[in-house]
Structure 1
Amino acid sequence: MWKHYKFDTQSINLSCHTDEKFNHFDTLLHCEWDRALAQGYFSYNMDHNIKKRILDGDLHYVIELNPSRFEKRRMPHPFEHVNTPFDRSKFNFNKIKDEEILFVLDDEQQTDKNLVIINNSPIRLYQVLLVPNRQLEQSQILTIDCLLFGLRFVASSAYPFIYIGFNSLCGYASINHLHLHGIYMPNRLYIQTIKCSPFHINSNCYLFDLFDVQGFAFEIKHVGEFDTIARHIHTVTNYLVSSDIAHNMTIMKGDSFSSSLEPVICIFVWFRQSTKGAKTFHQWNIGCLELSGYTFLQYEELLNDSTELKLRQSINEIALSSEEQKKIKEDVKNLLNQ
């Protein structure tokens, strides 16, 4: 059977400015990832000397070249609604081989619940997928358990640029089986040091309005807040699902929205226009990565031609109308007040 890592509340580091790179958690993940690679469970090998650009501009967008991801990945499934029933006839994570499971991140009560597995078409080196409660066959809708899994994953790693991402259906999710993306980012991303304005202080909720695409941002200062903030985030995402509003989420270590000195875990939930039907690949498709400050491209000429202005214009194109955004913010504030 696969290996286990017990979540340890005493050994977490929330700083995104630390020089520490890896601890036992990271070493386990890297060793098991290398083992799966050596055993041939990936669709392609990743180049350790991948081409990268950091774009000029205020946000210092990180762009990398990964043509294999476009050429050799599974075909994404088309979706018409954010809430689409699980279909066991389609690819799902109950169909993977046991060897594709790297380890289990245990919580205090249960084992074999939170699987860390390979993405056989990785976005970059050591990218993984987090699959909670695999046997429940949950569709791609965030649950409190899934949010806690993501928070514990980020807190367990010593790496300052560890990343968790989620795309809803119609928000560029490819598979309708609940999962998160876990990525070792090559650089600090702008969202780790951004300041957001207060939105609902009692919920540690702030407003992200850097782009026309807006979002809610939460911060966690210590592990004792995990359960409470996860429930607040779930209140937001559950509302978006019930309203058939596509959304993307990111979890990273960062600076407090209200104090540059205090390390926190930052969680962003963006609401946006739906992308329905079969996915088509443009210069970049706007999902959780692109909203967070990172993207990968298929062609070197696109890499060389990219600018922050072009990326921000693409992001702004998926914004909901100002009337829709106003209603979402009013509804969410009322829900958080309850």
Structure 2
Amino acid sequence: MKQLSVLVVDDSAFMRKLIKDFLNEDPRITVLDTARNGEEAVTKIMQLKPDVVTMDVEMPVLNGIEAVKEIMKCYPVPIIMLSSTTKAGAENTILAMEAGALDFISKPSGAISLDLHKVKSELIEKVIAVSKMKIKLNKPMSKPSLRKHEKKVPNKNEIPKLVLIGTSTGGPRALQEVITKWPADFKAPVVIVQHMPPGFTESLANRLNSLSSVNVKEAEQDDVLTAGTAYIAPGGFHLRLIQKAGKTMVSLDKEPPVGGHRPAVNVLFESASKIKNIEKIAVILTGMGSDGTHGLIKLKESGEAVAIAEAEESCIVYGMPKSAVLTKKVDEVIHLHSIAAAIQNYL
């Protein structure tokens, strides 16, 4: 098997050496070169044509977000962002993924992480995984400020239907494609599990909220689900739905990861299968692995669920949707661009 070639981009010489050494330890990977900033990265990508790029988010001269935009224009290549878990780091990571980066890894202890060895295996796995992924060049979204005034106060009435979405790698851009197409008077609550570590889901929710007519928030304990609001499971917590006093509510917990994930799509879907007298529309978007498949079976067995899976042609990773489709429980397999409309049709 041909070795994967990688360009490592970071403004810290220490971090460049550490990342390079970690990657070179794996016989499947060779680091071609390193770059100190986004500008140097763009030049070296054009010269060396690497298979994968690891990119620091915060750099001088040309930062990670601007570098990703430039790379997507001149030589699209799979990019993994390395980010600190600060608020600014998380926000910028979401913007970099919106611009075209495929995945990210959070540095354990800030910009200069002496304990980077903690994410060494994750780094190697993701470099190998993204090398096989398709790069989707999204059209830019409309300016957030133009849509702010459209927000409506949620209606606390009983909810007849409920939208459930599960996604992983490639999810932030897929969610943006779906959620930003809905009107402010969207007729159901939406509950989302996106595989992400703590600190990043809040930034994702804020970003989607700024671009959408529906309200988008990071879910909180005891949130009462209301139509026209999307709730994103916070990183590090399972999100379960419960019924209390005639209301459907959010319950968060730190029980062990399920299938390696917390939050897990299976946990959300399985809890939703126990909610009575509400029809569920379950959607599985792009992502690695099979999270959501077991929960989808439970939902379908409850007799009150419609299942939609993203089509292979639009997925960055056709893992989770494929696993769901193989159960033969999926009602529709749809291209990402048509999923927002399909969900509305069911409402």
Could you state the TM-score of these two structures normalised by the residue count of structure 2?
0.27
User: Larger radius of gyration, structure 1 or 2?
Assistant: 2
Could you state the TM-score of these two structures normalised by the residue count of structure 1?
0.27
The structure where helix makes up a greater share of residues is 2
